[in-house]
Amino acid sequence: MKKVLTLTALVFTVLISCKKATETEPIQITPSPPKKAEIVEPAGDQCYEWRSNGSIMEMSFNVNSHQEVNGKLKVDIVGKDKNEGTLIGNMKGDTLIADYTFNSEGVSSVREVAFLKRENTFIEGYGDVVTANDKVTFKDKTKLKFDPKNTLTKVDCKVE
């Protein structure tokens, strides 16, 4: 029993002395080079589309360095009037909020649209709306719902 206790005490002494030796050794720290300031450049034209059972939605736009969006939207849903027009708005985080000015049956209208960006797609948003000054806007943008059934996928832009 004495041999076991002596051997155990010797092992603990060696372990403690080894640990102290490693703690006093200097640690090498390699500094990282300073990061360059990131400048957000305009992404150029981006084009997305959704197709389902003969219905089509096509969206093309560009985003400038201030996250301002300028583009076009075309909606042709089977059984509804076709409409197409301009998008002017902003990217707010991962959400595009824009005014869609369009013509349908010879009448010009403005309604707010929302699209949630997910990787190479945009999902159209829906919510309660109000009409004021001939413009339809979302009542509460924080309560928008995004339906994955209406997902526009990235496509090559068509040359016009």
Count CB neighbours of 139 within 10 A: 10
Q: Tell me which residue has tokens 């390699």.
A: 30
Count CB neighbours of 125 within 10 A: 21
Section 43-53 average pLDDT: 88
75's tokens: 């909606």
Longest dimension (CA), the chain: 104
Structure letter (DSSP) for residue 97: E
Say which range, 24-33, 56-65, 93-102, 124-133, has the weakest mean pLDDT: 24-33
Section 8-33 average pLDDT: 50
Section 57-66 average pLDDT: 94
**Average per-residue pLDDT for the chain:** 81
Give me the percent of the chain exceeding a pLDDT of 90: 58
63-72 residue pLDDT tens:
998 999 999 9
Measure the CA–CA gap between 91 and 74, rounded to whole angstroms.
19
